[in-house]
Amino acid sequence: MRLREIPITAWIGIAGILLALFCAIFAPWIAPHGETEVVGEVWAPADGQFYFGLDNLGRDILSRLIYGARTTLFVALGATLISFSLGIVLSFTAAVSRGPIDTVLSRFNDLMMSIPTLIFALVVLAVLPQSIFILILVMAVLDSTRVYRLGRAVALDVAVMEFVEAAKLRGEGRVWIIFREILPNTLSPLLAEFGLRFAFAILFLSTLSFLGLGIQPPAADWGGMVKDNKDGIIFGISAALVPGGAIAALAICVNLVVDWLLKRTSSLKGGRGDA
Amino acid sequence: MPELLSVRGLKIEATSYPPGEPPKRVTIVDDVSFDLAKGKVLGLIGESGAGKSTIGLSALAYGRGGAEITGGEVLLDGEDLLALGKSGIRRVRGARVCYVAQSAAAAFNPAHRLGAQVIEASVKHGLMTVEEARTRALYLFRVLGLPNPETFGDRYPHQVSGGQLQRAMTAMALCSNPELIVFDEPTTALDVTTQIDVLAAIKHAIEETDTAALYITHDLAVVAQISDDIMVLRHGKTVEYGTAQQIIEAPREAYTQALVNVRQALRPEATVQTDTLLKVDNVTAGYSNGFKVLFDVTLHVPKGQTLAIVGESGSGKSTLARVITGLLPPLEGSISFAGKALSPALKGRSNDDLRRIQLIYQMADTAMNPRQTVRDIIGRPLTFYYGLRGAAKTARVKELLEQIEMSNGFVDRYPAELSGGQKQRVAIARALAANPELILCDEPTSALDPLVAEGILNLLMKLQEEKQLSYIFITHDIAIVRAIADSVAVMHRGKLVRFGPKSKVLSPPFDDYTDLLLKSVPEMEIGWLEKVLTTRRMESAGN
Amino acid sequence: MSPSTDTDGLSGRKLRERFPLAALILERLVLSIILLFAVSLLIFVGLQALPGDFASTYLGQSATPQAIANIRDQLGLNQPLLSRYLSWLGHAMVGDFGTSWASQNSVGEQIGLRLGNSLFLAGFAALISVPLAVGLGMLSVHFRNRLPDKIINIVSLAAISLPEFFIGYLLIMFFAVKFGVATFPATVYAEMSLYDRLQAIALPTATLVLVVLAHMMRMTRAAILSVMSSAYMETAELKGLSAFRSIVRHAAPNALAPIINVVALNLAYLVVGVVVVEVVFVYPGMGQYMVDAVTVRDMPVVQACGLIFAAVYILLNMVADILAIVANPRLRHPR
């Protein structure tokens, strides 16, 4: 892979992701003010001192944005890593074993997928206690169904190739076949899917926070910040649009990178059906 | 007399995108010229990649998948097709020049009936009314020997067989009374017994309608039956161009001679009796939904000899290979190896059992992991069965490469960087690494060009001599059977029709199926097709 | 092919062979019904299995042991699980979803009012977005890899990356507040005229359309491209057919099935998108009802809404599957 071959749109995406990562890691050092520190008037407009103005409680939006990057990225990345691992392990096992294991896993997955993710999350979160780990777990389990579906399709594509049969005929065990024969040949589409899931996790988390079910205040989280400041919209206060814009910007960056990865895989998938 | 089609100095190029390198311009066809008179047939023959399809498509001024015609002229009745604009060439295509694709199954639209598609071009070009076109289509269905011609047009593509589709495609091309038809490997995808019928139908149809034809194929025996002239192509250049008679009976170039002389007997039939290595007893096999594929098959392979299993698609020969390797446990019957019973399923067999029987696949592309180097591919069995690692493994890999006549420089290459023949050789080395006693070869040369295939067969025979290997060679190609087999098994629809030493099986008296099979293989002889057809007519007249 | 002469003409296998279409449709129907039952089980029973006792959650701070016991009795939480499930399911099937814990109103009544509103909003959004998406998808293919296609690609990529609430507030900010051309919040009530109603939902509809349009357009483009690269399209070109005829007569019939599938899937997605949009625009629909209920842990409402949303989703997916089957010529005309 030549660096020169990467199109400019992908570079923009990579830059955006790195910026968010930077903010997340170094938040306490680069944020001008504290996460919950009240520094001025409610909804003060943007000026030289407070680049994005102040929010509904007089806190600095820029600082909260930077701290919010930490929460958002931590939760989204965590959820994606867990959902991905879970989905891939289950789907690859199903694809290689076929038979009853495959049927049971796939039918259960279909069942889980027949309820839209948001609705499922709402129902489950109505019952479970509020906690950031519960949130990550719920997001992960629900999203793993999408990963399972793709993983199984991709693994099956490879599993029917003759070199996999040749390995079976040699006497190779299931573990070898999954990790040494199938997985290396599925890296490209899997990587693209990881990106898609990550973008979805960011959007999903902010939606949950916006609805009041995600990260709880006073912790800064981009979706929650929109919720806090939404009442200002009717008065022409754009404070809620700033965190919303940040979410959008990060999601766009991830999608730009994924788009590039998908082109490399020459997959025909053009949609991001995440219902 | 002006020729119908005159191609002068044709040059076709494309851009290739090799992995890890900048895109580069390659020449697919280089300075090719030929003439074709009205009503005559020109055969274009060559190996895959020789450029024959590309040349055929240039007669319609079409470049498939990025191929661009960059030089030369294609004169149809004196008019240069390459100089015509979009609407000009559209008027020619489907009306004056028609194309019959290699895969009729893919070329027909699954959403419309065959009849509508067959007459579409004629009607849309304003050549005839719908009624006239339907009448003509009916006539053509009859000429091409299609069953129930009156209702054939009402069917959908998925409702008829491959051979019928190919004929339907020919009807579609003939419907508009074109001056020229380009046939692109029309019988390659068909069974040998179907091929001969389609070939005869095509020949009859173009003679009846006095159409000129470009017949593209890689099979010299087939092209000899149908062409007046033959052009031999290699790497986009003309190797030899002359009448069919001259090319077949007195080829001048070395390459042409090699093509004509392919498949001489490579090995005399073994006469020494040896112990039985593999025995298949009364095996009946099928799939879990009850569908049976093999019925009561019994055969055996002596040590150090080659058993050729020959049959067409659906005969069950590949299924038999799966039963022997343990991938498909039989419903009835048993398999024994070197005197001991072999567990019917894969998991019941020890690693040593698995080691002694190896399998070589038809498509070497998919038979090897594209992410592994040649060293890994050949080396894995060494590590898995013998625990070889490090220097010992490297040394043995080198030895094996020598045995398959490839240099050690190939160890770090990936399969995508190898040619078809090289890939198959690596597959053979992988099989040899296990030190097997029996190698099942499932159509290992069917996907290769004739000369490359020749090389592989020679290699296999050499290895057999050196190591006393036994082979089960599955094929549909009788010529290969004649060249290399010691014993032969003929299969048809899951049943073993005939089994025994080669000389016995391939000599009369024959059962009906073997008779049909042997007669359907085109010989490299002008006029063979006429002879067979005459014999058939006589036989059916006599009944 | 000769018809089956089996005297036992109604045996399952023969029927399946002769009417593959009907068999497949029936299969989908049965599968969906089973799925719906399984989902209802999951919603009801699964929830009970999760940690977090209802009664204490419901009471929150005032959870004394006596209060908990009383509430459990009052809400019928002491009955055996299976009988509670069956009773709930039985009532649900006739539209009785019990009473809300928070407001003591009949859940079914509220749903009756609100479901109509949500479907109206979603339906209107669908009406606008589907033709737009298919049209843009076709346009994109026609100008494949040229400027219009690249522009459409970038814009749609941005659109699917924007959260719905962001688009919503953006639209409110510009069209309601700054330009004053649209109404916010989007309140509707029973006696409103159609025109007034449409005016009220202008912005929420626009939001929904923008999100779904982008998804649908990208998938339509992919489906059409896949069909365009088929071998029979080459045959059409080699027969000298005009580009128009090739697309209309050869590409379109085969693109129908995948496009229908795409549209139906996105309609299902629309059902979910409604939830967020209703909260943003304070629209009296099922989505807002459910979110409010979740915040206060009003279980009967949550379960009822969850079930209904799931049912609509399953129904739309089933319709998508069935339409895709029907549009497949191989199944319409068996051997």
Beta strands of B303-407 (E only): which ranges?
A: 306-310, 332-337, 340-342, 357-360
* Element containing residue B282 per DSSP (H, E): strand B276-286
Answer yes or no: do B253 and B117 share one domain.
yes
DSSP code of residue C248: I
Taking residue A198's Cβ as centre, other Cβ atoms within 10 Å add up to 26
Asked if residue B209 lies in contact with residue B174, where contact means CB atoms within 8 angstroms, the answer is: yes
Residue A36: give its domain's CATH number. 1.10.3720.10
User: CA quadruple A53, A56, A58, A61: dihedral positive or negative?
Assistant: negative
Helix axes C20-41, A99-113, angle to 10 degrees: 70
Q: If you average pLDDT over every residue of chain A, what do you get?
A: 84
Cα-flanking dihedrals φ and ψ of residue B324, to 5°? -65, -40
Helix C107-142 vs helix C147-161: crossing angle, to nearest 10:
160
Size of interface B-C (CB pairs under 8 A): 75
* In a domain? residue B414: yes
User: What are the backbone angles phi and psi of residue B22, rounded to the nearest 5°?
Assistant: -70, 150
Hey, what amino acid is at B527? G
Which positions 99-158 of B are in contact with C (Cβ < 8 Å)?
Answer: 99, 101, 103, 106-112, 120-121, 124-125, 156, 158
Give the residue from A97, A169, A178, A265 with the most B CB atoms within 10 Å of its CB, the best one to mutate. A169
CB C220 within 8 A of CB C193: no
As a whole number of angstroms, the distance between CA A32 and CA A47 comes to: 14
**B340 and B468 assigned to the same domain:** yes
What residue numbers bound the domain in which B178 lies?
39-61+84-260
As a residue count, chain B comes to: 543
Q: Is residue A6 part of a domain?
A: no
Residues B323 and B472 grouped into a single domain = yes
| Residue A258 to residues A245, A252, B182, B536, Cα–Cα distance (Å) | 20, 10, 44, 63
pLDDT at A202 > cutoff 90: yes
SS3 C162: coil
Our count of domains for chain B comes to 2
Does residue B521 sit within a domain? no
Burial class (CB in 10 A: 0-12, 13-18, 19+), A110: middle
Cβ-Cβ contacts under 8 Å, C230 against chain B = 106
A128 within some domain: yes
Residue B494 tokens, joined: 């899951």
Q: Sign of dihedral through CA atoms C206, C209, C211, C213?
A: negative
C160 with A116: Cβ contact below 8 A: no
What distances in angstroms separate CA A259 from CA A60, A143, A157, A191, B48, one per listed residue? 35, 20, 22, 11, 35
Verify that B103 and B197 share a domain, yes or no: yes
A162 touches chain B (CB under 8 A): yes
pLDDT of residue C178: 73
Residues A115 and C179: their CA atoms lie apart, in Å, by 39
For A193-230, the three-class secondary structure string (H helix, E strand, C coil) is: HHHHHHHHHHHHHHHHHHCCCCCCCCCCCHHHHHHHHH
Q: Would you tell me which residues 313-332 of chain C have a C-beta closer than 8 angstroms to some C-beta of chain B?
A: 329-330
User: Under an 8 A CB cutoff, do C232 and B103 touch?
Assistant: no
Total beta-carbon pairs less than 8 A apart between chain A and chain C: 176
Question: Cα separations (Å) of C292 from A269, B11, C102?
Answer: 36, 72, 10
What residues of chain A lie within 8 A of the CB of C281, using their CB?
none
In this structure, are residues A130 and A138 in contact, taking their beta carbons and an 8 Å threshold?
Answer: no
Q: Is residue B413 part of a domain?
A: yes
Q: Which of B94, B106, B109 sits opposite C240 (nearest CB)?
A: B94
CATH number of the domain enclosing B419: 3.40.50.300
Question: Which of B89, B101, B156 is the closest to C333 by Cβ?
Answer: B156
- Mark whether B251 and B311 lie in a shared domain: no
Q: Which residues pair with B309 in a beta bridge?
A: B474, B489
B239, B233 contact by CB (below 8 A): yes
What is the total count of domains within chain A? 1
Segment B382-385 long-range contacts (CB within 8 Å, at least 24 positions apart): B382/B433, B384/A170, B384/A171, B384/A172, B384/B351, B385/B351, B385/B352, B385/B355, B385/B433, B385/B434, B385/B435
Residue B320 is predicted with a pLDDT of 92
Residues B112-136 have pLDDT tens digits of: 999 999 999 999 998 899 999 999 9
Return the closest-CA partner of residue C174 out of C215, C132, C202: C202
Rounded CA-CA distance B160/C176 in Å is 62
| Residue C290 to residues A117, A191, C111, C293, Cα–Cα distance (Å) | 14, 35, 10, 5
Mean pLDDT to the nearest integer, A114-128: 84
User: How do residues A215-272 score in pLDDT, each as one tens digit?
Assistant: 887 777 898 888 888 888 878 778 888 889 999 999 999 998 988 887 776 533 322 2
Amino acid at C117: N
Q: Is residue B355 part of a domain?
A: yes
Q: Does residue B255 sit in the same domain as residue B280? A: no
What does chain C come to in residues? 335
Pick from B46, B42, B24, B25: nearest CA to B34:
B42
CB contact under 8 A, B366 and A171: no
- Whether A275 is covered by a domain: the verdict is no
DSSP secondary-structure letter at B468?
T
Reduce the DSSP state of residue B283 to 3 states and report it.
strand
Q: Which of A163, A168, A171 sits opposite B351 (nearest CB)?
A: A171
Task: Name the band, by pLDDT with cuts 50, 70 and 90, for residue A212.
Answer: confident
Close Cβ partners of C94 (under 8 Å, ≥ 6 residues apart): none
Block residue for tokens 């924007």: C162
Q: Tokens 């659109």, residue?
A: C159
ipTM of the complex: 0.82
Q: Which of B235, B260, B285 is the last residue of a domain?
A: B260
Give just the sign of the alpha carbon dihedral C295, C296, C297, C298: negative
Q: Which residues contact B197 (CB under 8 A, 6 or more apart)?
A: B145, B163
Q: Does residue A108 form part of some domain?
A: yes
**Which residue, A157, A160, A120, is CA-closest to A142?**
A120
Q: Which domain holds residue A53?
A: 12-267
Pair B181, B329 in one domain: no
Q: Which residues contact C276 (CB under 8 A, 6 or more apart)?
A: A118, A207, A210, A211, C163, C164, C165, C168, C287
Which runs of E-coded beta strand occur in chain C? none
Dihedral sign computed on CA atoms, order A260, A265, A269, A273: negative
Are B156 and C239 within 8 A, CB to CB?
Answer: no
Per-residue pLDDT 10s for chain C (335 aa) are 344 444 444 555 666 666 777 888 888 888 888 888 888 887 877 666 655 555 666 666 666 777 777 766 766 666 777 777 787 788 877 877 777 777 777 888 888 888 888 888 898 999 999 999 888 888 888 777 788 888 888 888 888 888 888 998 888 888 877 777 677 776 776 667 777 778 888 888 999 998 888 888 888 888 888 888 888 999 999 999 988 888 888 888 888 888 888 888 788 778 878 999 999 988 888 899 999 888 887 888 888 888 889 888 888 888 888 887 887 777 777 66
Angstrom distance (rounded) from CA C284 to CA B538: 87
pLDDT at C335: 61
Residues B204 and B332 in one domain: no
Residue A3 lies in a domain: no
In angstroms, the CA C290 to CA A121 distance is 12
Asked if B114 contacts B160 with a C-beta cutoff of 8 angstroms, the reply is yes
Instruction: Identify whether the C-beta of residue B166 lies closer than 8 Å to the C-beta of residue B187.
Output: yes
Q: Are C75 and C54 in contact (CB under 8 A)?
A: yes
- Based on its alpha-carbon atoms, the radius of gyration of chain B, rounded to whole angstroms, reads 25
Max Cα–Cα distance, chain A, nearest Å: 74
In a domain, B445, yes or no: yes
Residues B216 and B122 in one domain: yes
Nearest to A146 by CA among A103, A194, A205, A74: A194
Nearest in space to A199 (alpha carbons), one of A263, A125, A274:
A274
Q: Is residue B266 part of a domain?
A: no
- Residue range A58-112, pLDDT digits in tens: 888 888 888 889 889 999 999 999 999 999 999 998 988 888 899 899 888 888 8
Best residue of A103, A158, A160, A163 to probe chain B, by most B CBs closer than 10 Å = A163
- Condensed to tens digits (0 to 9), the pLDDT of residues B132-147 reads 999 999 998 988 888 8
The C-alpha of C258 sits at a distance from chain B's nearest C-alpha, in angstroms, of 14
What distance in Å separates the CA atoms of residue B200 and residue B145, rounded to the nearest whole number?
10
Q: Which of B210, B244, B215, B230 is nearest to B39 (CA)?
A: B210
CB atoms under 10 Å from CB of A9, counted, come to 19
Q: Do B303 and B213 share a structural domain?
A: no
pLDDT score for B97: 93
Q: Is C145 within 8 Å of A216 (Cβ atoms)?
A: no
Q: A13 with A43: CB under 8 angstroms?
A: no
Cβ neighbour number for residue C243 with a 10 Å cutoff: 12
Q: Indicate the SS3 state at residue A93.
A: helix
Chains that touch C (3 or more CB pairs under 8 A): A, B
Indicate whether A197 belongs to any domain: yes
Do B417 and B485 have their domain in common? Answer: yes
Higher pLDDT, A168 or C329: A168
B433 and B475, same domain (yes or no):
yes
Confirm or reject contact between B370 and chain A (CB < 8 A): yes
pLDDT tens for chain B, 543 residues long, are 568 888 888 998 888 776 666 788 888 888 999 999 988 999 999 887 778 888 999 999 898 878 888 888 899 988 888 888 888 999 999 889 999 988 887 889 988 999 999 999 999 998 899 999 999 999 989 888 888 899 999 999 988 888 888 889 989 998 998 999 999 988 877 777 788 888 888 888 888 888 899 999 888 888 888 899 999 998 888 999 999 889 888 888 888 888 887 766 667 777 777 888 899 999 999 887 778 889 999 999 999 899 999 988 888 888 999 999 999 899 999 999 988 899 988 888 999 999 999 999 988 888 999 989 999 999 999 999 999 999 999 999 999 999 998 888 889 889 988 888 899 999 999 999 999 999 999 999 888 877 888 889 989 999 998 999 999 999 888 888 888 899 999 999 899 999 999 888 888 888 888 888 888 887 777 788 888 778 777 776 665
Q: How many CB atoms lie within 10 A of CB C5?
A: 6
Element (H, E) at B76: strand B68-76
The span from the CA of B34 to the CA of B241, in Å, is 8
Q: Does residue B78 belong to any structural domain of this protein? A: no
Q: What is the pTM of this model?
A: 0.80
DSSP structure class, residue B443: S
